Structure 1
């Protein structure tokens, strides 16, 4: 049987057999089995076959191999017996630890950061997304032995963690890495400026921006599709969405709003990716309201929530930004857990229970979001010439027209809108 890994760790093929290793060092709020399941899902996302999952209790990390010598020997035996070609460590490995483990186990070894970067390298579709991933990859590889530079030339697929056509440069040229990273940063700064111009234009409109955020595979894209009628990729797959998607929607009392679907977060998201994806996540920073989509059926749902809040803080989201928690996947709860969730959500105004898949609860979320965005709106009576179609359209677009009637050559409107919008209406054309 072929393992996809015979001699050279760089001559690695997708579809190879893999073992997922979770070094449990204590102090984590996460369930080890759930963590193994998540990492196996990440590995599946890059097309490898997970044939073994191992949780190892670590009393004190070993500088050379992270895990103990006895654990290394037992793992090496598993690799040999199961004909395994890849060991995925759900931890951050130093370059020395990675190299020593590859030697001891006789198979390719990647850590959590490398795994996530590989997924992002495959999934990014826009030019911006690929720039961000390549920058993150180079930053990660700068302190490691660079096995292959083929990622600089490839148009599709990942970025070389799992091999490629072979070694193209034996020794890494660090100056070339720095130069490449500098050029990528300049290009991303231009992207950021362009996004800023687009965002300024939207804010002058102004249309409220609603950003969907959440842990990867929480159901953001499914909810996005249901709210917008779009066909964004929505699969039971970690990191199904990388590139941001914006769509226009209408809400009660709001003629036009912008809904943004963003990359899913994950625990221990590599710092390189947080930095590289800052331009994309600026849509979240500038949002008027956040909808935090949670997989309420997941055993680590609370820990996932904490991870998302940590990333939001890292990227500079104002803690005062209004937000809702959309407790998704209600359809996966049994009767007892469903009753408990309903009771808990009933005590909180910032929580809506729903199933993005079936549509249950989605209408309530829309009502809650609209109500929050229109808080502070006041009722005004506005008089227009009956021929002022543009003025009437403006009122419908920026406020909620409650009633209107004609008196002589004047059209009277009873409208609810934000005071700032009423001020803008009063000075329009001035």
Structure 2
């Protein structure tokens, strides 16, 4: 590698973003994809000097781009004084090396950029383990080249430096050993999460999980509904670690609201696997709130990305029609309603009336408009399949009586005489089937 490429790129560096627009791909339109790429760069503290979409008819195996396109990128870098090139797509190790040699600049692809963001944002020990595993997996296929940050001890996972990590030896065996150790630790995390989920299933509180495309406003809505102070900024991947808070709902004394990592198109496969444990929290929810940025012109494409991930988790049916393993009711939350014009808002209200079989709540998490309605809808959804059951319990059975009061709607409660366990209580309680099952397991 040339000497001029060995310096570290720091926050505030100027970056040239190139989006390889492949023929026949049906993803986000080029303008939206460029905006998303710029958002990723801004999220890691870079300055976007310029961003262009470059049509690709046939990808070049050695460089992805054609010679003329590479020259145009080089010219753009010179004119904009860019010291870093971000390719908003996947590059092989050979392509990355060849582009750096031709452009005389550091080159990073979409996977590397997202890994940098995750490395900086992961706040918990589990999150850091997941990011390190993903980064090692990414690097394992790139040991054919001379990675400058493998040559010395330095902080962070990649070209910026993040949570802090000692030298990663350029040796596949050492990387495999480290990855195996991290996987064992993450497996323990999964088992712990499973135990926590089992406890929550026995606890008298339903769980509502927020999911959605990154920057859709999940954390802002989470803060609005819970009064919490979770990081909520106009940044991609502002939330990486799951956060839970208690909320009150109409007809439900207490519920747990869970905020999750945002989804994104072309999420690196390493991260899909590494963050599986985080996303598995969603499978234990009683209801899912799919938060959408309804003002975004690509909101439908973003919705498809989210549903594809939920299908992978077994929550919604896949495209092949396979039944979902964890069928969970979904409420679509059409957020950022305050950004719509009057005509567009009217059109969307009309569209809602024709969406049979779906539950849609328009709101603005920023202003609070519609949030009370959302709480009411969630409360109704959680109690939709409830029935009245008759229980006779020992008056001393405080745990189960408390469960019925907290999780169900107690219609009546009266003395029922003496039993083998002492004074008895008769309770008529409205419960859902799921809550009845939890009660039976107490």
Corresponding residue for 2:22? 25
Quote the residue 1:11 is aligned against.
8
Q: Whole-Å Cα distance in 2 between the matches of residues 28 and 391 of structure 1?
A: 53
Q: Distance in 1 between matches of 2:332 and 2:262?
A: 15
Alpha-carbon distance between aligned partners in 1 of 2:256 and 2:298, rounded to the nearest angstrom? 31
1:341 alignment partner in structure 2: 348
Q: Does 1:330 align with 2:337?
A: yes
Pair 1:416-2:430 in alignment: yes
Q: Specify the alignment match of 2:320 in structure 1.
A: none
Deviation of 1:67 after TM superposition, in Å, equals 1.2
- The secondary structure found in structure 2 opposite 1:125 is coil
Residue 372 of structure 1 corresponds to which residue in structure 2?
381
- Quickly say closer, same or farther: Cα 1:170–1:130, change in 2 above 3 A: closer
1:197 shift after superposition: 0.7
**Partners of 1:72 and 1:427 in 2: CA distance:** 64
Could you say which residue in structure 2 is the equivalent of 1:117? 115
CA contact (8 A) 2:169 2:175 kept: no
Pairs within 5 Å for 1:55-204: 55-144=53-142, 145=145, 146-149=147-150, 154=155, 158-162=156-160, 172-204=170-202
Cα 1:150–1:225, aligned 2, differ >3 Å: closer, same or farther? farther
Could you tell me how far apart the structure 1 residues matched to 2:289 and 2:47 are? 34
C-alpha distance in structure 2 between counterparts of 1:78 and 1:182, whole Å = 43
CA contact (8 A) 2:204 2:406 kept: no
Gaps of 5+ in 2: 317-323, 418-422
257, 269, 272: which is aligned to 1:271? Answer: 269
User: C-alpha displacement at 1:235, in angstroms?
Assistant: 0.6
Q: Deviations over 1:138-189 (max 9, x none)?
A: 00010113432489873xxx4123479xxx9797111111111011111111
Q: C-alpha displacement at 1:234, in angstroms?
A: 0.6
Do the aligned partners of 2:204 and 2:403 also contact (CA within 8 Å) in 1?
no
SS in 2 for 1:358: coil
> What's the CA shift for 1:106?
1.3
The alpha-carbon distance between structure 1 residues 335 and 150, as it changes in their structure 2 partners (threshold 3 A), is farther
Offset from partner CA, 1:314-368 (integer Å, 9 cap, x none): 3343533211111100000011111111111223342111111111112222222
C-alpha separation between the residues in 2 aligned to 1:281 and 1:118?
20
TM-superposition CA deviations, 1:101-134 (whole Å, max 9, x none) = 1111111110000000000000001111000000
Aligned partner (choices 219, 222, 233) of residue 220 of structure 2:
222
Is residue 214–residue 264 contact of structure 1 (8 Å, CA) maintained in 2?
Answer: yes
Cα distance in structure 2, aligned partners of 1:109 and 1:295: 31
User: Contact (CA 8 Å) 1:30, 1:303: kept in 2 or not?
Assistant: yes
What TM-score results when the alignment is normalised by the length of structure 2?
A: 0.87
Cα separation, partners in 2 of 1:10 and 1:153, compared to 1, 3 Å: closer
Contact 1:18 1:52 (C-alpha < 8 Å) held by counterparts = yes
- Looking at structure 2, the residues matched to 239 and 53 of structure 1 have their Cα atoms a distance apart, in angstroms, of 20
Per-residue CA distance 1:254-287 (angstroms, 9 max, x = gap):
2232221100010000110010111111101222
Aligned residues, how many? 418
Cα separation, partners in 2 of 1:402 and 1:331, compared to 1, 3 Å: farther
Q: Is the 8 A contact 2:243 2:258 kept in 1?
A: yes
- Using the alignment, how far apart are the partners of 2:441 and 2:215 within structure 1? 46
Q: Which moved more, 1:203-212 or 1:58-67?
A: 203-212
Query: Residues 350 and 152 from structure 1, CA distance in 2 versus in 1: closer, same or farther, beyond 3 angstroms?
Result: farther
SS in 1 for 2:209: strand
Cα 1:189–1:78, aligned 2, differ >3 Å: closer, same or farther? same
Instruction: Using structure 1 for the length normalisation, give the TM-score.
Output: 0.89
Matched, 1:236 2:234: yes
Q: Quote the Cα distance in structure 2 between the aligned partners of 1:184 and 1:424.
A: 34
